[in-house]
Structure 1
Amino acid sequence: MIFSRSSLRRLFVAASFLVAVFEAVAANPPVEAFFRNPDVGFVKISPSGRFVAILNRAEDGTQLLAVRDTADLTKVTTAASFDTARLASLAWINDKRLTFTLKNPKLDFEGNYDQFAVDRDGNNMVHLIAGSWRHSQQSLGSNIKDRKLTADHVFLDVTHDGSDDIIVARFTWNNIDRRPQSLHPFRLNTRTQVLTDMVVGPQPDNVLDWVFDASDQARVAMVHNKGRCIAYYRSGPDAPWTDIANRDCFKDDQFEPLAFDGRHTLYVRAGYKGRSALFAYDLGKRELAKEPFVDIDGFDFDGDLKLDYRANKILGVHFTADASSTAWLDTTMKGIQDKVNALLPGSANRIDCGIDCRNPQAVVVVARSDRMPPTYFVYTPADNKLVGLGSSNPGIDPKRMGKRDFFRIDARDGLQIPVYVTLPAAKADGPRPAIVLVHGGPYVRGGSWEWNAEAQFLASRGYVVLQPESRGSTGFGFPLFRAGWQQWGRTMQDDLADTASWAVKKGWADPKRIGIMGASYGGYATLMGLVRNPELFRVGVEWAGVTDIGLMFSAVESDASEDARRYDMRTLIGDPERNPEAFAEVSPLAQAGRIAQPLLMAHGGQDVRVPIVHAAAFRNAVSRKNRKVEYVVYPDEGHGWRNEETRLDFWKRVDTFLDENLAR
């Protein structure tokens, strides 16, 4: 399947872009409409399609895990409820049994997950893995069996044989790093709690990822060690492990095993024409197919395969270009997708058909667009009927949200930079205040066309929101990613300034009212933007931001592994020992005295990715000359806002700060 960029552009938005632009005649939507915990989420269809599990928010904030009959959605059973913990994952084990993961939002460290299993009627609840949350008896009932795995275990996946088993892994540590060194897979029966080793005998060291075949056998072990990415393969449970790829993780062509198709063919993400594509890999010949299975012009392959575990075949491929889509190989599913798209024009509609997809009784549809947050439906093919289950953010009126689109602009050195732009819904009388919103990472993809709460919140306040995928970002080809190596504070910053200047030339942005904001790396880029381009960026908002590159290598509180410090980070960021002067040049801490613009800083007291020492040192330095710095620490937060009360407080502060310092 080969897709051209032009065939994908605006695949979903033709209908939505024909609507008129609405004037904002009422008050701005409240912060809660964007950032409170979702009202509906984790909607999962059972393997047969007979039932759908859904997480609902009660009026008092309690989370209810409900199960509905797809033949009669008025038939509802509550399988579980919980208040202080947050649901992290939900999956059907079989048509009768569910497994779910809870996370304690007050704590931020490895192993902070509790795993449970429960029948769909709420009976036979079993606490499988005890993380750090200690309120299971009170919140989930008294019928929980008390034999639990310890917090060094984690849920990986369900099995696909109809049993009550799931796949879990046990972590091991090296007594140096905060993060685990390896994980080992086991089958766990969710009723008897019997644990069965899935990999017996000699095996590779330091495995941190496994790929299982359609029979739930561990067939590929993936190792990341000393800057090398190694993939080991075995043909069966008793066969030896042999490496099928051993490469420099960044400098050599990509080779990332993703899934088996049930016919002993491995599908991998591999390099192709300066980007990555999806290939079939012949395990007998140890070679890639001559042509890619899926290739998208202008984009790396970012997606997953939809497998039919009973027929042992690929049904389709979910992927993201500028927006998300699905290419179905199966004619039944393609027909269902076409009918759903006709019922829900103007949105990207992802379909989940469970395991039995050859003639599904019902499917779950997740619809989203640039203006519409995730909205959930059950579709029954027999009668072409679509029934709504609710929206994650029911307080959002799509008609009052901003138009979002995708562009590629030329940076000053000619490199093309992808940019998402969200324009306010209200008609403009002229250029408006603008925000350059920088994604974290930075060696990740920032987002896609679909709903983005942060961008839409800012647009609802009248700001043009610019989200560049600056050099260093992944998802748009290797040249863009490679161009960002060791460019923190340098050409990566140029891309942000060039994006702002481009928006000024387009007539969207007022050159005297442009701000910059972001989290993690985006927080770093915000501070360096204020340092390097004071003529352009009038204000800054950073949260969980890196304030000194050197501290990333030296802070003992950091969760970066020793291996990452020695290899990955030196390739991508730089070498603090060989060239310390280069770090000083692009350190916000060293340049703090140059920042005179209003600045809002927010950090988590438990952050181990960017320890609070970053924030404290920078705040002390910048405040010596700049009296327009607002600083807040959230003691219970880590690297990002997990608690609803934090998100609401933070974005209310952002709203007020920008209104006072940028909007006018």
Structure 2
Amino acid sequence: MRSSLACLTLTALLSSTISMPAHAAASITPAAAIPAADFFANATLSGAVLSPDGRHVAVLVSAKDGRVQLYTVDLPSMKVAGLTSFEDADISSIAWVNERRIVYSVMDRNIAQGDVQYGPGLYAINIDGSGYRQLASNTYSRKATHGAREMLSWNTRLLSASGDRGTDDVYVTEAHFSATGTLSQSLLRLNTVTGISKLAASMADAQGWLLDQQGDVRIALTVKDNKRTLYYRDNAAAPWRKLRESDVYQAEAGDFSPAFFDAKGNFYVHAAYKGAAAVYRYDLAAGAIQGAPLANTPGYDFAGIPVQGSKALLGMRFETDAAGTVWFDKTLDAVQAKVDALLPATVNVLSVAKRAETPFVLVTASSDVQPASVLIFNTETGQLMPVGSSHPAIDPLQMSHKTLVRYQARDGLDIPAYLTLPKGHAGKNLPMVVMVHGGPWVRGGHWNWNRETQFLASRGYAVLEPDYRGSTGYGDAHYKAGWKQWGLKMQDDIADGARWAIAKGYADPQRICIAGASYGGYSTLMGLLNDPDLFKCGINWVGVTDINMMRDGHWTGDSDLADSYKKSGMKDMVGDAVLDAAQLQATSPLQQAARIRQPLLLGYGGADQRVPASQGRLFYQAVSKTNPNVEWVLYNEEGHGWALQKNNVDFWSRAEKLLARSIGPASAAGAAAAVPTAMP
């Protein structure tokens, strides 16, 4: 049910719901005294987006009842209007249709995955509160309302709402699932005022679409029989023509992936440059990449997320040791320098209007010790106006710093990792938790505030987060080095990181535990098996316990992995069910559960379709026969990870007790922790 919220001033809003954290407290509360609930609380502010004309900011704010509501900030007057909310749902994402209209979706933060039935729906409203319409069905509405006879189905998702096309239209995808779990998408153009949609593009086996800055569908991506094909057309009336066909998992020379179009119609792609991804211009007429990369970051894959202007490409986002922006616009480059001078301790991401009519820039500031905060910068006066913090209960002065380090694995491969040393403790001979990220084919470490890491540091533990081989973001060789290495060299990288920390004096060799979720949970179990003298305890949540079970489950019941990935991707990246049968057996923890004797916490979600709870339950039954120090917890409503604050608090309180029994927290020291200043 929608409700209208009263208009209020920015000052009033700041002083209540979304006040910024106090950075200069008279006294500092010991970090260990910070309640676990503060670390695992939902964000109170999120999703701030600047309007196309730069006159308003749309932002999501948690109300006193905990429900997330949509607010707008009028930048010339700095007045805040509570625009819309639901009694039984939370607004989860927002985008500008144009300078006067917003489109948004919903979720329910009070329930976990097991209680979610369909999709997030789609809604639209004008910034003055008029013109509300539900555009697509969702979990929370059981019947059409507000003239929604044209309402789209629950499997509709927003693809593009650039906000700068001068229309009330957006583009949405409508998902279709085959009997084998393969996804295909048709593309619709949807009028957010009338609710009427029409088919914009459709193609058999389509899995992705790319629009140009004028809103024309120009690129289509299809996947069939392990082949990925890119198609291009000059305009809506032109026929599709094939750009390139390639293997989904095995890269070939000349491969590229579509990135974006700029305002001038130039097409950009991601392609390899000196072993890592870079951004190039692509000549569609010639069918070839043009010249040298537009930008690249040596040693890191260049994401190249565009910052678009109405007339030109303004800049691109990237991530190396921390996030950053390369500006092609000299004025914005100077604005970035001014903001960075005012906020030197944070990464400051600037959001600019595509056709700015005001001097305001939206700033999102964050760091390893500070959750994201939103501010408004006036480019004429140089003034910063705080809007709010995502986690106002977190005081950066109580948090522990995170540093990128590098160490060599036993075969010489360079392994990047993030090291966090607990604040208020001497930085030597500390009890340590090696935190293994899930995926595994993702980048795990980032220079940001991480709730699990900071919780552990607040309790006196150093935390090491390796980006072992197989992790993405560090070039193709680092990624491919992890193929078919589950439980083998990927696992060696984790142990080698712990031994590096011992050699550097950071970790007490007798007080190291291992922890992780999903693949990280699998690695936790394999760490206890492979290196029982190194890891004194383990914390595994939603971890794989048997590789063959992961492959054999059906996507409609006990696995959300498509059959195509299991037949091709897993064969190449994890192991062939026949040719590598012995290896998969030897590297599946379930088969060796009786060998684990260290204390162990196992947590699983009853509604998990990625790693069903049955995997965890079988492992628990096997390991508990010979190990009396195993704790099992099942959260029936949860999926692949914990969505609810109460479950996060419960699980990490259990983990805290396990660590205290097994390796004990560090004793407080008069000297601050010695944070590495370089990459040893």
After TM superposition, the score normalised by the length of structure 2 is 0.89
Moved more, 426-435 or 407-416: 426-435
Match of 1:62 among 47, 61, 67: 67
Q: In the TM superposition, what whole-angstrom CA distance separates every residue of 1:481-539 from its partner, at most 9, and x where no partner exists? A: 11100100000000000000000111111111111111111111111111111111111
Does residue 1:47 correspond to 2:52, yes or no?
Answer: yes
AA at the equivalent of 2:322: A
Whole-angstrom CA distance in 1 between matches of 2:226 and 2:417? 31
Distance 1:336 1:360, change over 3 A: farther
In structure 2, distance between residues paired with 1:117 and 1:371: 36
2:154 paired with 1:148: no
The aligned counterpart of 1:538 is 536
Say if 2:405 is the partner of 1:402: no
Counterpart of 1:331 in structure 2 is 330
Q: How does 1:143-542 map to 2 (within 5 A)?
A: 145=148, 147-159=150-162, 160-177=164-181, 180-199=182-201, 204-253=203-252, 254-308=255-309, 310-311=310-311, 313-357=312-356, 360-428=358-426, 430-542=428-540
* Alignment check: 8 A CA contact 2:60 2:71 kept: yes
Describe the SS at the equivalent of 1:32.
helix
What is the CA-CA distance between 1:143 and the residue it aligns to? 5.5
1:10 equivalent in structure 2: none
Q: How many angstroms does 1:110 deviate by?
A: 8.6
What's the CA shift for 1:294?
0.8
Question: CA offset at residue 360 of structure 1?
Answer: 4.4
Q: Is the 8 A contact 2:277 2:475 kept in 1?
A: yes
What SS does the corresponding residue of 2:589 show, helix, strand or coil?
Answer: coil
Match 2:83 to one of 51, 54, 79:
79
Residues 1:560 and 2:561 are matched in the alignment: yes
**What is the Cα deviation at residue 443 of structure 1?**
0.6
Letter in 2 for 1:42: G
Deviations 1:595-631 (A, max 9, x none): 1111111111111111122111111111111111111
Structure 1: how far apart are the matches of 2:209 and 2:638?
Answer: 31
Q: Quote how far apart the aligned CAs of 1:656 are.
A: 2.5
Query: 1:27/1:48 Cα in 2 relative to 1: closer, same or farther (>3 Å)?
Result: same
Distance 2:76 2:278 in 1: 40
* Stretch moving more, 260-269 or 345-354: 260-269
Secondary structure, counterpart of 2:493 in structure 1: helix
CA gap 1:495/1:379 in 2 versus in 1, 3 angstroms: same
SS at match of 1:531: helix
In the alignment, the residues of structure 2 paired with residue 144 and residue 458 of structure 1 have an alpha-carbon distance, to the nearest angstrom, of: 51
Counterpart of 1:106, as a letter, is A
Residue type of the partner of 2:156? Answer: H
Decide whether the 8 Å contact of 1:36 with 1:648 is kept in 2.
Answer: no
Out of 24, 34, 40, the position equivalent to 1:35 is: 40
CA distance in 2, matches of 1:307, 1:447: 27
What amino acid sits opposite 1:185 in the alignment? Answer: L
Counterpart residue identity of residue 113, structure 2: L
Q: What secondary structure does 2:590 align onto?
A: coil
In structure 1, distance between residues paired with 2:415 and 2:112: 38
Cα distance change of structure 1 residues 241 and 122 upon mapping to structure 2, 3 Å threshold: same
Amino acid corresponding to residue 151 of structure 2 in structure 1: K
SS in 2 for 1:513: strand
* Equivalent residue in structure 2 for 1:115, among 117, 122, 132: 122
Whether 1:604 and 2:605 are equivalent positions in the alignment is yes
C-alpha deviation, 1:167, in angstroms: 1.0
Task: Quickly say closer, same or farther: Cα 1:227–1:262, change in 2 above 3 A.
Answer: same
Secondary structure of 2:368's counterpart equals coil
Structure 2, gaps ≥5 residues long: 1-23, 666-680
Equivalent residues of 1:51, 1:68 under 8 A apart: yes
Deviations 1:462-499 (A, max 9, x none): 11110100000110011111110010000000000000
Do the aligned partners of 1:47 and 1:355 also contact (CA within 8 Å) in 2? yes
CA contact (8 A) 1:172 1:181 kept: yes
Q: Distance in 1 between matches of 2:80 and 2:275?
A: 51
Distance 1:189 1:85 in 2: 24
- In 1, the alpha carbon distance for the partners of 2:191 and 2:183 equals 26
Question: 208-217 vs 111-120, which deviates more?
Answer: 111-120
What is the CA distance between 1:578 and its match in structure 2?
Answer: 2.8
Corresponding letter in the other structure for 2:58: A
Structure 1 260/76 Cα, relative in aligned 2: closer, same or farther at 3 Å? same
1:31-86 deviation line (CA, Å, top 9, x unaligned): 1221111111111111111111111112331222111111222x221111235534
Higher mean alpha-carbon deviation, 327-336 vs 470-479, is at 327-336
The amino acid of 1:94's aligned partner reads: N
State how many pairs are aligned: 631
Aligned-CA RMSD value: 2.0
- The amino acid of 1:66's aligned partner reads Y
Distance 2:149 2:83 in 1: 19
Q: Which amino acid in structure 1 is aligned with residue 106 of structure 2?
A: L
- Deviation, structure 1 residue 566: 1.0
1:625 aligned onto 2:626? yes
Q: How big is the shift at 1:450? A: 2.0
Amino acid at match of 2:188: F
Q: Secondary structure at the match of 2:498?
A: helix
In the other structure, the counterpart of 2:669 is none
Q: Find the counterpart in structure 2 of residue 634 from structure 1.
A: 635
Residues 1:360 and 1:412: Cα distance change in structure 2 (over 3 Å) = farther
Aligned partners of 1:386, 1:584: CA distance in 2, in Å? 58
| 3-state SS, counterpart of residue 570 of structure 2 | helix
Q: Does residue 589 of structure 2 align to residue 588 of structure 1? A: yes
Judging changes above 3 Å, is the alpha-carbon distance between structure 1 residues 72 and 657 closer, same or farther for their aligned structure 2 residues?
farther
Which stretch has the larger CA shift, 367-376 or 422-431? Answer: 422-431
AA matched with 1:663:
G
> SS in structure 2 opposite 1:290?
strand
Q: CA deviation at 1:144?
A: 7.2
Q: CA deviation at 1:28?
A: 2.6
Provide the rounded CA distance (Å) in 2 between the counterparts of 1:449 and 1:608: 30
CA shift, 1:145, in A, is 4.3
In 1, are the aligned partners of 2:278 and 2:302 still within 8 Å (CA)?
A: yes
CA 110–279 in structure 1, closer or farther in 2 if over 3 Å, else same: farther
Distance in 2 between the 1:257 and 1:70 partners?
Answer: 35
Q: Secondary structure at the match of 2:293?
A: coil
- Helix, strand or coil: the match of 2:33? coil
Q: Percent identity?
A: 38
Query: Structure 1-normalised TM-score?
Result: 0.91
Q: Cα deviation per residue 1:555-586 (whole Å; 9 max; x = unaligned)?
A: 12111111111111111111113332211100
Partner of residue 90 from structure 1, selected from 82, 94, 111: 94
Deviations 1:10-32 (A, max 9, x none): xxxxxxxxx9xx99746432112
CA distance in 2 between counterparts of 1:124 and 1:661 reads 59
Question: Do the aligned partners of 1:57 and 1:63 also contact (CA within 8 Å) in 2?
Answer: yes
Q: 2 CA distance for matches of 1:84 and 1:135? A: 13
Give 1:426 shift: 1.2
- Deviation for aligned residue 1:240: 2.1
2:404 aligns to what SS in structure 1? strand
| More deviation, 30-39/121-130 | 121-130
Match of 1:15 in 2: none
Residue identity matched to 2:537: V
Describe the SS at the equivalent of 2:520: helix
1:240 counterpart SS class: coil
Q: In the alignment, what sits opposite 1:130?
A: 137
Q: Following the alignment from structure 1 to structure 2, what is the Cα–Cα distance between the partners of residues 26 and 636? A: 31
Asked if 2 retains the 8 angstrom alpha-carbon contact of 1:517 and 1:526, the reply is yes
